[in-house]
A and B are shown apart, each in its own frame.
Chain A
Amino acid sequence: MTARPGRGQPRRETSEGRLALLLLLPAALLLCGVLLFPMLTTLRDSLYVNKLTEPWLRGFVGLSQYAQMLHDPRFGQALRNTLVFGIFTVGGSFLVGIPMALAAHTPSRVRGLARVALLLPWAMPPVISGLIFAWLFNAQYGVVNDVLYRAGVIHEPLRWLSTPGLAVVAMVITIVWKTSSFVALIVLGGLQGIPRDLTEAAEVDGATRVQGFFRVLLPLLAPSLAVAFIFRAISAVQVFDIPYTFIQQAPAQGLLETLGVYIYRTSIEFLDFGYGAALSVALFALSLAVTAVYVRFVRDGSSS
């Protein structure tokens, strides 16, 4: 809120400040107690060796667990997987989500139904989306193989989840299905904010609808797209539930392990809390880096 000159005597401002403090207090307590404090604990833990399988090794080790990451091929693989999935799933969710938003925005008799269809993947629990798609991609009785077989594309069922390359494709498709809705919803918000005359003016100028979309609509949607991008990028870096569900079903695990899954396994399955904490900090840093790029992009965009 900007301070308005000539308004608000000092006395009222202090009382308002005190009230604000009081109103902000519960939220601050909850955020600091349940998010900030544990995160700081993670930061401290990352400097100590603490491995339940080798309890005699406990102690302060400084940054050496961060150095360990550099020589950890499994970390490298998980990081690479996360980035590859990120590029394909974020890109895919925009390619699918923007047309979805346009389809849901055009007035039609089934608009209500279209909106529910748009919301459903977004609201579906990620674990359940993973289960559903694991079934759709099932090698023996999956509907994906069935359709490909009936269409004559394949003659033998594809073993989607146990063939490394195909497992990656199946997981990318699953995540794109789950996350395109989110992009579509944000873009839909942007579309609703654009007056219809603007798009119609483009048509009067002789531009076709497609050109109108690229020349008029897309630039106007830029702020919404930027917001959708940052949220999608952060969720892509942190992705856990869907890869975790897929790995339960897929022998092709190495290529499906994301950073989130690797952290979970290091801490919970291998009981290496120290290294798990260091990996956690790395994931947090990666999330921060994504945000920093975005903030910079927004600042440059508004200053030019």
Chain B
Amino acid sequence: MSGTDQPAPRLSPPERLVRAVAVGTLIVGGFFPFIWMVLTSLKSEGELQTFPVQYLPSSMNVGNYARVFSEQPFATFFTNSLIVSVLSTALCIACAVPAAYALARLHVRARGVLMTGVVAFSMFPVVSLLVPLFRLFRGAELLNTYPALILPYAALSLPVAILTLVAFFSAIPRDLEAAAMVDGTDRVGAMLRVVLPLSAPGVVTAALLVFVNSWNEFLLALSFNTRLSMRTVSVGVTLYQGEFAFPWPLIAAAVVVATVPIVLLIAVFQRRFVAGLTAGGVKA
């Protein structure tokens, strides 16, 4: 909790009330849908079928969580998502860091054009790429493999990662680098030993953004990896519904399990997320 001892600016009682209501609404609005899924996941089908709705489950019924893993290979979905998200993040950052460094620091003649190009790539509609990528991957026998998702995820997040990193690199004082170069280090040495360590928070931020994008992607995962053993979490959660039947407590449990990593990531890295989105957004 930050800012606890920071004195709030002088506020009159009515203003304080407005602030409390605003902050309260924000917190309830952000958390309620998720909490509602947790409550639903703990109910039995019978408890669910009451109107007016019974808000709290009468007993902690964790059976739905066991069913999440027994009715579908959810552990496999989870592993797949983890592998795909981690590797696409690694690939994306490995390409984004040198590119962003060049754009932020080196004498690149066509810098304006290149930056516009990066922004243009961020507007490509995923659905327009679906069929050609499908054909490409079918030809290369990549369907139902991890690279079928890793490659497009890394590419789709690359523009955002580059823009975020350019903002971070540009904020590092040039003199530091110049000093290192005067001391006899060359460009690459200065980049690796001076700029990169200083921009570590930026790299972490960009990596978090890419990871969340990859974890959440649905359309390509739905279409490219159709074998059950290759499904990811975002597609997996939709597999519990039948054509006419919606076992909501079970679906809710699946949703909760699928969302927990995201909630944890945000709780731990909230500052980095806020810093990254605000820096990248305003500079873009």
A61 — which chain B residues lie within 8 A by C-beta? none
Task: Contact check, A141 vs B34: say whether CB atoms are below 8 A apart.
Answer: no
A113 to chain B, nearest CB (A): 6
> Nearest CB to that of A44 among chain B residues?
B132
Listed stretches B65-73, B120-128, B198-206; interface member: B120-128
A264 touches B99 (CB 8 A): no
Main secondary structure of the interface of A (DSSP, over half): helix
List, in ascending order, chain B residues with CB within 8 A of A245's CB: 238
In the complex, whether A283 has a CB less than 8 A from a CB of chain B is: yes
Q: Which of A68-76, A211-219, A233-241 contacts B (4 or more CB under 8 A)?
A: A233-241
How many whole Å from B238's CB to the nearest CB in chain A? 6
A45 to B104 Cα, complex, angstroms: 37
Residue in B104, B132, B278, B282 whose beta carbon sits within 8 Å of that of A38 in the complex: B132
Contact indicator B102/A99 (Cβ below 8 Å): no
Minimum Cβ distance to chain A for residue B247 (Å)? 11
Contact B123 A99 (CB under 8 A): no
A149-B37 Cα distance, complex, nearest whole Å: 21
Q: Is residue A91 within 8 Å, beta carbon to beta carbon, of the partner chain?
A: no
Q: How far is the CA of A118 from the CA of B22 in the complex (A)?
A: 12
Find out whether the CB atom of B37 lies under 8 angstroms from the CB atom of A118.
no
Kindly state whether residue A59 has any CB partner on chain B within 8 Å: no
CB pair A8 B107 closer than 8 Å: yes
Report A-chain residues with C-beta under 8 Å of the C-beta of B223: 268
Docked CA distance A28–B34 (Å): 39
Known: A26-B95, A38-B132, A224-B281. A120 touches B31 (CB 8 A): yes
Chain A interface size, as a band, is 35 or more
List of B residues within 8 angstroms of A267 by Cβ: 130-131
Partner of A268, one of B130, B132, B237: B130
Contact, CB under 8 Å: A238 / B126: yes
User: Which of A22, A102, A119, A249 is close to B246, meaning CB atoms less than 8 Å apart?
Assistant: A249
Chain B, 4-35, contact with A by CB distance < 8 Å: what is the 0/1 string? Answer: 10101100000100010011011111110110
* B262/A100 in contact, CB under 8 A: no
B262 to chain A, nearest CB (A): 5
Whether A66 sits at the interface, judged by CB under 8 Å, is no
Q: Are A26 and B136 in contact (CB under 8 A)?
A: no
**Contact call A283/B125, Cβ cutoff below 8 A:** yes
The answer to whether the Cβ of B219 comes within 8 Å of any Cβ in the partner chain is: yes
Whether A35 lies near B99 (C-beta < 8 A) is no
Most A C-beta atoms less than 10 A away, residue of B96, B125, B263: B125
Interface residues on B, range: 35 or more
User: Are A27's CB and B95's CB within 8 A?
Assistant: yes
A95-107 vs B: 1/0 string, CB under 8 Å? 0000110111011
CA distance A276 to B132 in the complex (A): 11
Which residues of chain A are within 8 angstroms of B156 by Cβ–Cβ distance? 35
Taken residue by residue from 167 to 209, chain B's Cβ proximity to chain A (1 for < 8 Å, 0 otherwise) reads as 0000000000000000000011000000000000000000000
A125 touches B216 (CB 8 A): yes
Considering the complex, give the chain A residue whose CB is closest to the CB of B43. Answer: A141
Residue B78 CB within 8 A of the other chain = no
A42-B131, A128-B255, A128-B258 given; A106·B234 CB < 8 A: no
> How far is B31's CA from A116's CA once the two chains are assembled, in angstroms?
9
Would you give the 0/1 interface string for A143-161, flagging 1 where the beta carbon is closer than 8 Å to chain B? 1011001100000010000
A253–B257 Cα distance when bound, in Å, is 29
Task: Tell me whether A115 and B29 are in contact (CB under 8 A).
Answer: no
CB neighbours (8 Å) of B27 from chain A are 110, 113-114, 117
Q: Give A136 to B227 CA distance when docked, in angstroms.
A: 31
In the assembled complex, which residues on chain A have CB atoms less than 8 Å from the CB atom of B9? 107, 196, 200
A interface list, Cβ under 8 A from B: 1, 3, 8, 13, 16-17, 19-20, 22-24, 26-28, 30-31, 33-39, 41-42, 45, 99-100, 102-104, 106-129, 131-133, 135-136, 138, 140-143, 145-146, 149-150, 157, 177, 181-182, 185-186, 188-190, 192-193, 196, 200, 209, 223-224, 227-228, 231, 234, 237-238, 240-241, 244-245, 248-249, 260, 263-264, 267-268, 273, 276-277, 280-281, 283-284, 287-288, 291
> CB within 8 Å of A: which residues of B?
1-4, 6, 8-9, 15, 19, 22-23, 25-31, 33-34, 36-37, 40, 48-53, 91, 94-96, 98-99, 101-109, 111, 114, 119-121, 123-133, 135-136, 151-152, 154-156, 158-159, 162, 187-188, 212, 215-216, 218-219, 223, 233-235, 237-238, 241, 246, 248, 251-252, 255, 258-259, 262-263, 265-267, 270-271, 273-274, 277-279, 281-282, 284
15 CB contacts below 8 A, A to B, read A16-B107, A20-B106, A30-B154, A34-B152, A34-B154, A39-B128, A39-B129, A100-B26, A106-B19, A117-B26, A123-B216, A126-B218, A140-B49, A188-B278, A238-B127
Contacts A1-B106, A30-B154, A125-B218 known; 18 new A-B pairs at CB < 8 A: A3-B107, A20-B106, A22-B98, A45-B131, A103-B22, A103-B23, A108-B19, A115-B274, A126-B218, A127-B235, A135-B37, A138-B248, A157-B51, A186-B278, A190-B282, A240-B126, A263-B127, A264-B130
